[in-house]
């Protein structure tokens, strides 16, 4: 194993302990030892981390289902991006029924073919009822041209009303359990980027296999109520304790994380999140050049020091509302 591509358990313990003191706000640095180290097959491979209790190992960078993949009438470019990602060692492919009114799932279905067996495919349903979720599952499988998912996720759980509907007798959870029992999906996940307390409540009620949540360097400045809540402070430690597979999203916040006198590079944005105890980050991209840049960042990643983490958090403080816009803007 390449020394440059991994870190020892002792180093992680040192980082975690120092982080709890020096970073302060980044309380989730404390359980960093959950991963022990990033594993790599060779110097050119993407490092991987255990994906919770699923038995899977997932590379640090994963392909998001948005970006160009949610824009209609770009089949050739979208298929090329998907295939290039797999060529580069990306395993986790993210999408959702909702993305691009079906464009994202359709592109995956057109691209995968025989490569389906080589990847971990995850899609989402935003329906809260049994009937609605089952309808979307059927449509998703047809678009994706597959008979099963590796993970089916409850999409963008925002409110307590969402949670109550999901766990009702005829709620979405009934559909998700049916899909798992019938081996239509291997695992069940949940996603959210609005209210940390709502998501924490949901994972306390059911043993979800995975969680996809909004994580970036501006998150720690959210100290309010309802949608002004930090996922790093309130959900990440709970997800680690439950040994969930953890995926970070909204890492560059559609570019809003990059500001004058603020965070300037994708290496900083990705590195900040990957230094926390997550398995992987998903990022929607628009070009193969962007894809290759992100893969290279993951390939050469080394955890940031507590001082470096604190500096990135300080840089985002003047514009943290812009970098967490998805908590307030309609349609997100």
pLDDT tens profile 227-274: 789 999 999 999 999 999 999 999 999 999 999 999 999 999 999 999
Q: Tell me the average pLDDT across 78-83.
A: 98
Task: Return d(Cα 42, Cα 323) in angstroms, integer.
Answer: 35
Contacts of 69 (CB under 8 A, 6+ apart): 78, 81, 82, 95, 99, 100, 103, 104, 107, 108, 284
Please check the confidence at residue 178 and state whether its pLDDT lies above 70. yes
Task: Return d(Cα 249, Cα 247) in angstroms, integer.
Answer: 7
- Bridge partners (DSSP) of residue 93 are 63, 121
Please check the confidence at residue 5 and state whether its pLDDT lies above 50. no
| Per-residue pLDDT tens digits for 269-289 | 999 999 999 999 999 999 999
* Confidence band of 115 (pLDDT split at 50, 70, 90): very high
Contacts of 253 (CB under 8 A, 6+ apart): 216, 218, 322, 323, 324, 325, 326
Instruction: Give the model's pLDDT for residue 104.
Output: 98
* Confidence band of 37 (pLDDT split at 50, 70, 90): low
Instruction: Give the model's pLDDT for residue 39.
Output: 65
Name the pTM for this structure. 0.88
CATH (one of 3.40.50.720, 3.20.20.100, 3.30.450.90, 3.40.50.620) for 3-327: 3.20.20.100
Structure tokens at 182: 């019938």
Q: Hunting for tokens 């007798």 — which residue is that? A: 169
Instruction: Give the model's pLDDT for residue 106.
Output: 98
């Amino acid at each position: 194993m390449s020394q440059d591509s991994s870190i020892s358990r002792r180093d992680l313990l040192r980082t975690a302990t120092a982080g709890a003191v020096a970073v302060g706000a980044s309380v989730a640095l404390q359980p960093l030892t959950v991963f022990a180290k990033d594993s790599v097959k060779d110097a050119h491979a993407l490092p991987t981390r255990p994906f919770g209790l699923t038995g899977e190992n997932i590379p640090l960078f994963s392909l998001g289902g948005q970006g160009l993949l949610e824009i209609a009438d770009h089949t050739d470019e979208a298929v090329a991006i998907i295939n290039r990602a797999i060529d580069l060692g990306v395993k986790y492919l993210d999408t959702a029924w909702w993305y691009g009114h079906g464009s994202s799932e359709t592109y995956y279905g057109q691209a995968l073919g025989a490569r389906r067996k080589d990847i971990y495919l995850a899609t989402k349903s935003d329906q809260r009822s049994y009937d609605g979720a089952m309808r979307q599952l059927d449509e998703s499988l047809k678009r994706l041209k597959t008979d099963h998912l590796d993970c089916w996720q409850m999409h963008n759980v925002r409110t307590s009303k969402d949670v109550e509907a999901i766990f009702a007798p005829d709620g979405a959870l009934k559909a998700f359990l049916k899909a798992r029992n019938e081996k239509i999906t291997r695992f069940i996940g949940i996603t959210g980027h609005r209210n940390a307390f709502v998501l924490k409540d949901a994972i306390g009620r059911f043993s979800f296999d995975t969680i996809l949540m909004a994580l970036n360097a501006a998150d720690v400045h959210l100290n309010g109520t309802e949608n002004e809540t930090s996922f790093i402070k309130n959900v990440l430690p709970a997800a680690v304790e439950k040994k969930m597979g953890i995926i970070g999203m909204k890492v560059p916040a559609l570019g809003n994380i990059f500001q004058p006198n603020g965070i300037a590079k994708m290496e900083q944005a990705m590195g900040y999140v990957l230094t926390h105890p997550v398995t992987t980050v998903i990022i929607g991209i628009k070009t193969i050049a962007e894809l290759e840049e992100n893969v290279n960042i993951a390939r050469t990643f080394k955890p940031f020091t507590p001082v470096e983490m604190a500096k990135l958090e300080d840089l985002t403080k003047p514009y943290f509302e812009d970098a967490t816009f998805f908590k307030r803007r309609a349609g997100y």
